[in-house]
Amino acid sequence: MTLARRAGREDLDALAALFDAYRVFYAQASQPERARAFIRERLEQGDSTIFVLEGEQGALQGFTQLYPSFSSVSMARIFILNDLYVVPEARRGGVARALMQTAHDFARSAGAARVSLATARTNLDAQRLYESLGDRRDEAFFHYDLALVRPGS
């Protein structure tokens, strides 16, 4: 397995397919064209940082995506790790751990105070990985979302 690296425009097609599969994993309808447009926009605008990991044959095995933000309380830069996905055949092979470690190293090098993420309560494998890397579950705050547009519209 090679090391995780920052995604570039040359990864667009393969990365968009992974992104679409990631959304399907979270019970969203497959929308390959919208997934490609979304990832292309992120790569072109540079408003997120995406890391990918290739397998021995050069095919992408997984990705993670970080969005920059700030914490007013900490008065510091933070990153939101919004996406982490590994293709089913590469799971339990260290891909997710390598992607997470790369994301953590990147955030540290950018001077961030923390990396924040959320996962489904039922995603126990992800929770075990995050906790093994030092992430701690937030027990002090409830998080709320207000949907402003319908998904897929």
CATH number, domain at 20?
3.40.630.30
- Note whether residue 151 is domain-resident: no
- For 66-82, the pLDDT digits (tens) are 999 999 999 999 999 99
- Report the alpha-carbon distance of residue 102 to residue 98 in Å, rounded: 6
User: Does a structural domain hold residue 86?
Assistant: yes
What pLDDT is attached to residue 5?
Answer: 95
Is 84 within a domain? yes
Q: What is the pLDDT of residue 2?
A: 63
Structural domain contains residue 128: yes
Considering the entire predicted model, what is its pTM? 0.90
Q: Using 50, 70 and 90 to split pLDDT, how confident is the model at 140?
A: confident
Instruction: For 85-104, write each residue's pLDDT tens digit.
Output: 999 999 999 999 999 999 99
- Answer whether residue 99 is part of any domain: yes
The answer to whether residue 144 is domain-embedded is no
pLDDT at 147: 82
- CA nearest 126: which of 22, 10, 8? 22
The H or E element containing residue 124 is: helix 124-132
Say if residues 19 and 31 touch (Cβ distance below 8 Å): no
